[in-house]
Amino acid sequence: MSGIETTGSVPKGLWPGVKSSFEAAGKKTANYHEMLFKKVSSDKKYEEYVQVVGHGIAQLKPEASPVQFASIRQGYTTRLVNATYALGTTVTFEEMKFNKFMKPAFTRTERLRNSLHQAKQIIAANIFDRSANTTYTGGDGVTLLNTAHPMAAGGTWANRPTVDSALNEAALQDLLIQIRTNRADNGDINPLNGHQLVVAENNFFVGNQLVKNAKQPETFSNNENLIVTLGMLPGGCVANPYLQTANAWYVTTNIDDGMIYQEAIGADIWEDNDSKTRDYQIMAAETYTLGWANPRGVFGNFLI
């Protein structure tokens, strides 16, 4: 029947404001997952990242001799499966009845957005916190940080030192050397560059001293801090409060297919009314996953 008003009439009139509040809340918080992972879009339940092993080094061609041919081949395959994370909140009929809808709706919507954000930051940090946990392995069958990643062409390579060290200038220099002397999966020299230093909060000051101080930290010399003057970590230092392994530290690299934030459906909200209670319901969800395709996306020292 036309002209009938329902308990949803007033809330639905305020929905644009509630939605705007939800979207604004997402701009107030630090997105560590976007700092540490490369964002890619997905339109499927899962995406497979197939490693391609290159041709190898060009060969000398003597005069009148034929060109030698080589072929690329498939290496390890990593499957990243999208998952949905969701949560809902309710504004009761009584709150609406006594004109208290606006404030609780906006407050709860912001907190709902924060709940989605918190979940994503924890999931992203878990990738690093579990980087040496043998329960969590990548496409090559070993942990993210490992001293013996298998090469598709045979042999191994490492993105973790044989003996882990606490964060200091010498240890950071050693890790940057390890990054620059990296080899590809066919065994060829494949130097990478460091991008940013990633630490837990207890290494905030040490990390920033190492990447911002133009002079060597904690010394009486006037020598240059070459990590800074040569621009070896252009992304600076990211101190992530969600990291739980206090003394572990990492350096992300410039490789394209390293740490992946795969988004299928961005954060969104929708509304409904409960016909039995006449309460107003707000729900939010997003679909994504985080992981790595190529473990060369990060090198690190894993100290508990």
pLDDT (tens, 9 = 90+) of the chain, 304 residues, equals 333 334 444 455 455 556 666 666 666 678 999 999 999 999 999 999 987 766 666 677 788 778 777 666 777 889 999 999 999 888 777 776 665 555 666 677 788 888 999 999 999 999 999 999 999 999 999 999 999 999 887 899 999 999 999 999 999 999 999 999 998 888 888 899 999 999 999 999 999 999 998 877 766 667 888 999 999 999 999 999 999 999 999 999 999 889 999 999 999 888 777 777 778 788 889 999 999 999 999 999 999 8
For residue 35, what pLDDT is reported?
A: 94
Measured distance CA(113)–CA(94) in Å, rounded: 24
Q: What is the pLDDT of residue 76?
A: 84
Cβ neighbors of 159 (< 8 A, separation 6 or more) are: 144, 145, 146, 149, 178, 295, 296, 298, 299, 300
Cα(41)–Cα(94) distance, rounded to whole angstroms? 42
Neighbours of 249 (CB within 10 A): 28
Report the pLDDT value the prediction gives residue 220, as an integer from 0 to 100: 64
Q: What are the DSSP E strand ranges found in 178-258? A: 194-199, 237-239, 249-253
Q: State the Cα–Cα distance between residues 241 and 55, nearest whole angstrom.
A: 42
d(CA 128, CA 266): 23
> Which residues make beta-bridge pairs with 282?
89, 271
What is the model's pLDDT at position 25? 63
- From CA 148, how far away is CA 203, in angstroms rounded? 27
How many separate helices (H) and strands (E) can be counted in the chain? 7, 12
User: Nearest to residue 128, comparing CAs of 170, 174, 168, 160?
Assistant: 160
Which residue has 């530290």 as its token pair? 249
**pTM of the entire predicted model:** 0.84
Domain boundaries, the chain: 9-301
| Three-class SS state of 260 | strand
CB 281 within 8 A of CB 274: yes
**Structure tokens belonging to residue 226:** 């070459």
CA-to-CA separations, 10 to 49, 111, 163, 283, in angstroms, rounded: 48, 22, 64, 18
**Per this entry, what is the length of the chain?**
304
Assigned fold of 9-301: Major capsid protein gp5 fold (3.30.2400)
Spatial neighbors of 183 by CB under 8 A, at least 6 apart, are 151, 157, 189, 190
Q: Is 283 exposed, middle or buried (0-12, 13-18, 19+ CB in 10 A)?
A: middle
Neighbours of 59 (CB within 10 A): 11
